[in-house]
Structure 1
Amino acid sequence: MKYAIWVPLFDELSDPLEVARLAAAAEEAGWDGFFVWDQLWWRPPVREVSDPWITLSAVATATERLRIGPMVTPVARRRPVKLLRETTTLDRLSGGRLILGAGLGSDRFAQEYSKTGEELDDRIRAERMEETLAILTAGWTGEPVNHHGKHYLVDDVRFLPRPVRGRVPVWLAGFPGNSRPIGRAARYDGFFPVNLTSPDQLAGPVAVLRALRGTLDDYDIAVALEPSADPRPYAEAGATWCLTDLVDLGLADVRAVIAAGPGGSIGV
């Protein structure tokens, strides 16, 4: 199993320079990845929130080995060709270390959609995400993109340069009991089941993914766990990445978790 830090860019963790220093410390302590939330704002008492892409650019220049990325970005909230340029540029800046975490997002946590006039219908946002991922996948090839979809149009445009390894890995997020996100994730590079409460919840998604793909070799399943949780039962259930969830922790505790190293527990 590989281990990553998962940082909400809130309040004390909203300073991109501080987050870059935390990422450098994580790399030195032996962590494998450093991922950040993608939110426009959050519920009280959170007051300060930073942009994930600019923050990840700082992280990319402060590190050399860590896999990095937004976990997850609400794809339907972004213009496909803008996201294509952002992912490719960040991937090249990091030397090919970007992983794109993608999902529908939700209005229920902070009303980010309803308060900004975004689409609230999950079905429509899913359609937009499917089209966006298709545009990204085509654009990363460096060949002309011709996409005439229900929601988006790209008419014979070539997007260069390409990502370092030819494409950016995509992990799809979804609730473990929802079959559609799992089926969508099977077509890409990884699955990030959200709101897990036990390793038993992985059995169903892992079985479905294996059946759809034929094999889970070179495929990632990431779980988010509190710093004090034991990741071993999740690894036995099929998880390949453990994202240490640092939500609700202050800067001092985040530093302590990072310093404890991957797989460590400080009981915060």
Structure 2
Amino acid sequence: MKYAIWLPLFDELSDPSQIARLAAATEEAGWDGFFLWDQLWWRPPVREVSDPWITMSAMATATERLRIGPMVSPIARRRPTKLLRETTTLDRLSGGRLILGVGLGSDRFAQEYSKTGEEVDDRVRAERMDETLEILTSGWTGEPVRHHGKHFVVDDVRFLPRPVAGRVPVWLAGFPGNAKPVRRAARYDGFFPVNLTSPEQVEAPAAMLRELRGDLDNFDIAVALEPDVDPRPYADAGATWCLIDVDPATLRLADVQALIAAGPPK
């Protein structure tokens, strides 16, 4: 199993320079990845929030080995061609270390969609996300993109340069018990079941993914766990990555620094 730090860019952790220093320390301490929330704002008492994409650029230049990425980005609110350029550029800046975590997101956490006029219908956002993923994966090939969908149009445009490895790995997020995100994830590179309460919630999607794909070779299943939770039962259930989760309401820089310095679970 691989281990990563997973942080929201809130309050004491909203300084991109500080996050870049934390990323360098994370790499030095032997962790495998450092992933960021993608939020525009959050509920009180959180007041200060930073952009993960700009911050990841700083992280990329401060590290050499660490995998980085948004975990997860609600890409249905993004313009696909702009996201295509951003992901490729960030992947090349990092030397091919970007992992793109995506999901539908939800208005219920911070009303990010309703308060900005974004689409709140999950079905419509799912359509937009699927089209965006089609445009991304097509554009990363370097071949002309010809997409005429319900929500987006890209009319015979080639996007160069390509990502370092030819494409960026994509992990799909979803809540336990929901089969649709699992089926969607099977077409890509990873699955991130969120809000887990037991290792058994990993076993069912892992079995479904194995059936859909034939095997789980070159496929990741990531779980987010609090620092005091034993990751081994989740690894036994099929998880390949463990993202150490922190509570944004009580998040403190000193606690994160201590967590990083302690190194990944043994």
- For residues 136-161 of structure 1, the C-alpha deviation after alignment (integer angstroms, 9 at most, x for no partner) is 00000000000000000000000000
RMSD: 0.6
Q: Is the 8 A contact 1:56 1:68 kept in 2?
A: yes
- For residues 28-72 of structure 1, the C-alpha deviation after alignment (integer angstroms, 9 at most, x for no partner) is 000000000000000000000000000000000000000000000
1:54 to 2:46 alignment: no
Aligned equivalent of 1:197: 197
Aligned equivalent of 2:171: 171
Q: Secondary structure at the match of 2:108?
A: coil
Amino acid at match of 1:27: E
- For residues 149-190 of structure 1, the C-alpha deviation after alignment (integer angstroms, 9 at most, x for no partner) is 000000000000000000000000001200100000000000
Aligned residues: percent identity? 82
Offset at residue 203 of structure 1 (A): 1.2
Amino acid at match of 1:102: V
Amino acid at match of 2:224: A
Amino acid at match of 1:224: A
Amino acid at match of 2:258: A
Q: Is the 8 A contact 1:10 1:50 kept in 2?
A: yes
Q: Secondary structure at the match of 1:257?
A: helix
Superposition TM-score, scaled by structure 1 size: 0.98
Distance in 1 (CA, whole Å) between partners of 2:98 and 2:183 is: 23
Aligned equivalent of 1:98: 98
Amino acid at match of 1:118: E
1:251 to 2:253 alignment: yes
Distance in 2 (CA, whole Å) between partners of 1:116 and 1:91 is: 29
Aligned equivalent of 1:260: 262
Q: How many residue pairs are counted as aligned between the two chains?
A: 264
Distance in 2 (CA, whole Å) between partners of 1:204 and 1:215 is: 14
Distance in 1 (CA, whole Å) between partners of 2:96 and 2:246 is: 25
Amino acid at match of 1:38: D
Distance in 2 (CA, whole Å) between partners of 1:231 and 1:138 is: 36
Stretches of structure 1 that go unaligned for 5 or more consecutive residues are none
Superposition TM-score, scaled by structure 2 size: 0.98
Distance in 2 (CA, whole Å) between partners of 1:61 and 1:142 is: 25
- For residues 1-50 of structure 1, the C-alpha deviation after alignment (integer angstroms, 9 at most, x for no partner) is 00000010000000000000000000000000000000000000000000
